[in-house]
Amino acid sequence: EVQLVESGGGLVQPGGSLIISCDASGFIFSSYAMNWVRQAPGKGLEWVSYISGSSSTKYYADSVKGRFTISRDNAKNSLFLQMNSLRDEDTAVYYCARDTLTLFDYWGQGTLVTVSS
């Protein structure tokens, strides 16, 4: 059974940093690209970042480019999102999602990141 479990969310001040993680199981992690998708409270879904299975290709939404860094550790079946220079508008539930030919076929339960002073 495919499982994705996010962790690391919490309260952080504007301008601060946070790293969130996603632990994967039930599939060959290195064979799949992965994404982060976020959802601000009461709002819709926003794609944030993509990383290929080998980490050779990475993409970012314009809203986070230069501030967020996606990475993965295939030996540990883990996905990460390093978030720097956080802003109020980054407050959201962050989901990791498995990528199968650019559709998101499995999602984690999400981790809440709150940016507030």
Partner 1 sequence: DIQLTQSPSSLSASVGDRVTFTCRASQSISSYLNWYQQKPGKAPKLLIYTASSLQSGVPSRFSGSGSGTDFTLTISSLQPEDFATYYCQQSYNTPPWTFGQGTKVEIK
Q: Binding of partner 1 at residue 68 (CB under 8 A)?
A: no
Residue 75 Cβ, how far from partner 1 at the closest point, in Å?
26
Residue of 66, 25, 73, 26 lying closest to 51 (CA atoms): 73
Total of chain residues touching partner 1, rule CB under 8 A: 20
**Shorter beta-carbon distance to partner 1: residue 75 or 103:** 103
Instruction: Name residues whose C-beta falls within 8 Å of residue 111's C-beta, 6 or more positions apart in sequence.
Output: 6, 7, 8, 9, 20, 93, 94
Q: Binding of partner 1 at residue 27 (CB under 8 A)?
A: no
Beta pairing partners, 20: 81
Q: Binding of partner 1 at residue 62 (CB under 8 A)?
A: yes
Ramachandran region of residue 105, left (φ > 0), alpha (ψ -120 to 50) or beta?
A: alpha
Beta pairing partners, 103: 100
Strand, coil or helix: what is 30? helix
Among 67, 77, 107, 112, binds partner 1 (CB under 8 A): 107
Q: Binding of partner 1 at residue 105 (CB under 8 A)?
A: yes
Among 44, 56, 75, 117, binds partner 1 (CB under 8 A): 44
Q: Which spans of this chain sit near partner 1 (rule: CB under 8 A)?
A: 37, 44-47, 50, 59, 61-62, 95, 101-110
